[in-house]
Amino acid sequence: MAGSEQTNFAVQLPRAEAIARLNDGLRKSGLGGQIMITRGVLSLPGFDAQTLLAALAAYDRFDPYNDPHGERDFGDVAAFETDLLWKIDYYDLTMEWGSPDPTDPNVTIRVLTVMLESEY
């Protein structure tokens, strides 16, 4: 790696980890943002919010394919005999634009959306 590439990697790693920890907090505890569930997921036979929240909290299968930036903002879970996707997005406080700084919970609203694969 060239010197500037090494510097960029070193600077990005702490930022990604800071975002990942905030994302983990939302995914594992429901705190630090909002959790949205699509109508498709809500209409699944046997849907139970507590079962879904437990599946999200237990999720730990992050790899370079589903987490290329190290932010732990995307994954898939099997629940209610269906493969579901979840994604965390970062908005400004008005929820009109993207967050100016996803590492700062004072200027960011996190939204975790759970959806059917067909709704992605």
Tens-digit pLDDT profile for residues 6-29: 445 444 558 999 999 999 999 999
Q: What token pair was written down for 87?
A: 């994604």
Residue-wise pLDDT for 79-89, tens only, equals 999 999 999 99
Chunked mean pLDDT (size 10), the chain, 120 residues: 46 82 97 97 98 97 94 97 98 97 97 96
Q: What token pair was written down for 118?
A: 């067909």
Extended strands (E) in the chain = 33-37, 74-79, 82-91, 109-116
Domain segments of the chain as ranges: 3-119
